Amino acid sequence: MVSFARGFCRLKFTKAPWSFEVHCSVGSELFVRHKQISAFTSVVRCHGEYSKLLSCYSLLTHGQRRHNSEIPEVDRVKKDPRYDRTLRDARFSKLSNQDLVEFKKIVGDSSVLTEAFELEAANRDWLGKYVGTSQALLRPRTTQQVSEILSYCNTRRLAVVPQGGNTGLVGGSVPVFDEVILSLGAMDNIISFDEGNGILVCEAGCILEKLDSFLAEKGYMMPLDFGAKGSCQIGGNISTNAGGIHLLRYGSLRANILGLEIVLANGQVIDSLRSLRKDNTGYDMKQIFIGAEGTLGVVTKVSILTPARLSSRNVVFLGCKYFTDCQRALKEARSNLGEILSAFEFLDRKALDMVLSHSDGLRDPLPDSKHSFYLLVETTGSCFNHDREKLDNFLEICMDKGVVADGVVAQDNQQFRSFWQLREGITEALSKAGAVYKYDLSIPVPYMYNIVENLQHRLGDLAVVMGYGHLGDGNLHLNISAPRYDSKIFSLIEPFVYEWTASHKGSVSAEHGLGFMKADAIYYSKSPEMVQWMTRFKQMFDCNGILNPYKVLPGSSFKEGSRYRNVSNSS
């Protein structure tokens, strides 16, 4: 019997019908009590959705096998109209039995997964909004194997979707149609760590949180951190140029990645796995692969600069009346906390209510009064007394100036964590609450919250609009929560959100990427000339377009038989 207390769980069967792995999210509790089954169980790591656990329950208890026809059909048009506009590229081959034989020669039988129940979780994105119909998932263990797989797929014109932890929020990590899934999860070795300089070299499939735990023992930390750290992989982070809560302090991945090993679509391995801080020998090729979302090459190894793990960390939870007060508080934090400021996050009251109503054990840190906005301000330094003095001074100034209405400093580790859970738990809470339309925008801070209010006005009672995000980076997470996906709601949101963002000189993707969801929206943030040059890059690195098709670049490139025609015509 399988039971669970809370959290997100996924069961992944490796050898049907009885052998399987259990994947569950950090903080979830999952128990496998059936004797026969537990003998075969290995608890591996966390990921996936609660609903998947339920769907696998009967398999566990009855040992039945699922067949392809039993994969639940998703009402794609309802969930994302982009499916309706996207045709399968007819130039891609369909997977054959011979292909599977060849894949098995490269990676071995057990690393080629083809059963529907084995593929179910990998075919579906974290939000359950994008679902593909891939028939094969490959788990290479070496760069050489990745190279041979891609070389084979390129020759056969088989489309491939690289997949890391599958925590992406824009439908980039799952197949749109029947693309082969190339999972990097088995490439999770740490290769070296330079303790004097904080330079870590590892394989792309390493889980972010595991890398951080490894570094903790050496007195270092990963320069990026966010809610999905227990499942996302460093290769996926690099491919999305992930941001998170510490970008304000440590900068983006672009600044911290020292080298990469990449496998191109034709199987060629590009080795730029250097560990140098400075290297001005020509073009910095690795930058083009950072944030390329698996469309230009597959990241297989990484060299990354990691900061020292400092011993003194504080977090305060503040309540503000107006969004302008949040901005004033940010200015005060910059000038009064200076070098110890490590995070400056905000959430509005609706986001706080959302997380409080869907997370057990969390409570409002400021229960005596409700505020329209909340701030989470973190400091990280090397001297507790010094940091605390600065923090107290900052709080005093904010209170004196009336910038902050109320606030509380975390008194211990447990409170520190629970404050952060209030911020990091919003994403999961929203996904439990029903349908969620997510937008990840960069907007000049003075106008940032206007779009939340405007959109709520447009939607009226149809949905609840909320805002949270990385205020210190000018990054708003605009989320619309509704009981179910609905075309009327969608038509009130898009293109309004994109048009509004473009008219305020913002970006339609601050940190999540474009994936499948926003490929057509690229023109709201990039000029036609820039998109044309991007398409040329794509052609240059992946001339058959097999790597993560239908993602990042706009849909005109994907109409049957006319891939990239626009660009070739104009060149």
Q: How many CB atoms lie within 10 A of CB 332?
A: 19
Under the binding rule (CB under 6 A), the answer on residue 440 touching ligand MLT is yes
Contact partner, 233, from ligand FAD, ligand MLT, none, Cβ < 5-8 Å per class = ligand FAD
Spatial separation of the C-alpha atoms in residues 161 and 413, rounded to whole Å? 40
Q: How many CB atoms lie within 10 A of CB 78?
A: 15
Closer Cβ to ligand MLT, 247 or 546, answer by number? 247
Pattern 218-237, ligand FAD, x by CB under 6 A: --------xxx---xx-xxx
Q: Are 415 and 379 in contact (CB under 8 A)?
A: no
Under the binding rule (CB under 6 A), the answer on residue 477 touching ligand MLT is yes
**Residue 391 CB partners (closer than 8 Å, separation 6+):** 314, 316, 337, 379, 409
**Residue 525 CB partners (closer than 8 Å, separation 6+):** 501, 502, 506, 507, 508, 509
Pattern 244-283, ligand FAD, x by CB under 6 A: x---------------------------------------
Closer Cβ to ligand FAD, 226 or 439, answer by number? 226
Sign (positive or negative) of CA dihedral 233, 236, 241, 243: negative
Helices 50-62 and 116-123 pack at an angle, to 10 degrees, of 170
Under the binding rule (CB under 6 A), the answer on residue 509 touching ligand MLT is no
Pattern 442-471, ligand FAD, x by CB under 6 A: ------------------------------
DSSP 8-state assignment for residue 170: S
Helices 496-503 and 450-459 pack at an angle, to 10 degrees, of 150
> Interface with ligand FAD by CB under 6 A: which range of 9-17, 166-174, 304-312, 344-352?
166-174
Closest to 390 in 3D by CA, of 310, 472, 312: 312
- When binding is defined by CB under 6 A, the residue of 243, 307, 472, 554 that contacts ligand FAD is 243
DSSP 8-state assignment for residue 16: T
Going through 206-294 in order, the beta strands assigned E by DSSP cover 257-263, 269-272
Closest to 269 in 3D by CA, of 442, 149, 449, 92: 149
Spatial separation of the C-alpha atoms in residues 453 and 7, rounded to whole Å? 32
Contact partner, 477, from ligand MLT, ligand FAD, none, Cβ < 5-8 Å per class = ligand MLT
Diameter of the chain measured on Cα atoms? 73
> Interface with ligand FAD by CB under 6 A: which range of 12-20, 161-169, 393-401, 559-567?
161-169
Under the binding rule (CB under 6 A), the answer on residue 348 touching ligand FAD is no
Contact partner, 163, from ligand MLT, ligand FAD, none, Cβ < 5-8 Å per class = ligand FAD
Closer Cβ to ligand MLT, 440 or 520, answer by number? 440
Q: Using DSSP, state whether 271 is helix, strand or coil.
A: strand
Contact partner, 172, from ligand MLT, ligand FAD, none, Cβ < 5-8 Å per class = ligand FAD
Under the binding rule (CB under 6 A), the answer on residue 240 touching ligand FAD is yes
Tokens found for residue 158: 């088989």
Under the binding rule (CB under 6 A), the answer on residue 134 touching ligand FAD is no
End-to-end CA distance of the chain: 62
State residue 410 phi and psi, 5-degree precision: -60, 130
User: What is the closest distance, in whole angstroms, from the C-beta atom of residue 527 to ligand MLT in the complex?
Assistant: 26
Closest to 318 in 3D by CA, of 228, 223, 232, 397: 397
Under the binding rule (CB under 6 A), the answer on residue 166 touching ligand FAD is yes
> Interface with ligand FAD by CB under 6 A: which range of 210-218, 290-298, 341-349, 537-545?
290-298
- When binding is defined by CB under 6 A, the residue of 204, 376, 377, 546 that contacts ligand FAD is 204
User: What is the closest distance, in whole angstroms, from the C-beta atom of residue 545 to ligand FAD in the complex?
Assistant: 14
DSSP 8-state assignment for residue 95: P
- When binding is defined by CB under 6 A, the residue of 154, 233, 380, 427 that contacts ligand MLT is 427
| Nearest residue to the partner ligand FAD, using Cβ | 236
Under the binding rule (CB under 6 A), the answer on residue 162 touching ligand FAD is yes
Q: What is the dihedral of CA 556, 560, 561, 563, to 10 degrees?
A: 30
- When binding is defined by CB under 6 A, the residue of 132, 165, 227, 307 that contacts ligand MLT is 227
Under the binding rule (CB under 6 A), the answer on residue 184 touching ligand FAD is yes
Spatial separation of the C-alpha atoms in residues 263 and 270, rounded to whole Å? 6
Under the binding rule (CB under 6 A), the answer on residue 252 touching ligand MLT is no
User: What is the closest distance, in whole angstroms, from the C-beta atom of residue 184 to ligand FAD in the complex?
Assistant: 4
Contact partner, 162, from ligand FAD, ligand MLT, none, Cβ < 5-8 Å per class = ligand FAD
Residues of 437-466 as b/e, b for ≥16 C-beta within 10 angstroms? bbbbbbbebebbbebbeebbeebeeebbbb
- When binding is defined by CB under 6 A, the residue of 179, 325, 511, 542 that contacts ligand FAD is 511
Q: Which amino acid is residue 110, in one-letter code?
A: S
User: What is the closest distance, in whole angstroms, from the C-beta atom of residue 506 to ligand FAD in the complex?
Assistant: 16
Spatial separation of the C-alpha atoms in residues 187 and 134, rounded to whole Å? 21
Under the binding rule (CB under 6 A), the answer on residue 146 touching ligand FAD is no
Q: Which residue has the tokens 């339609």?
A: 508
Q: How many residues bind ligand FAD (CB under 6 A)?
A: 38
Q: Which chain residues interact with ligand FAD by CB under 6 A?
A: 126, 161-169, 172-173, 184, 204, 226-228, 232-233, 235-237, 239-240, 242-244, 293-294, 298-299, 427-428, 511-512, 515, 548, 551
Q: Which chain residues interact with ligand MLT by CB under 6 A?
A: 226-227, 426-427, 438, 440, 469, 477
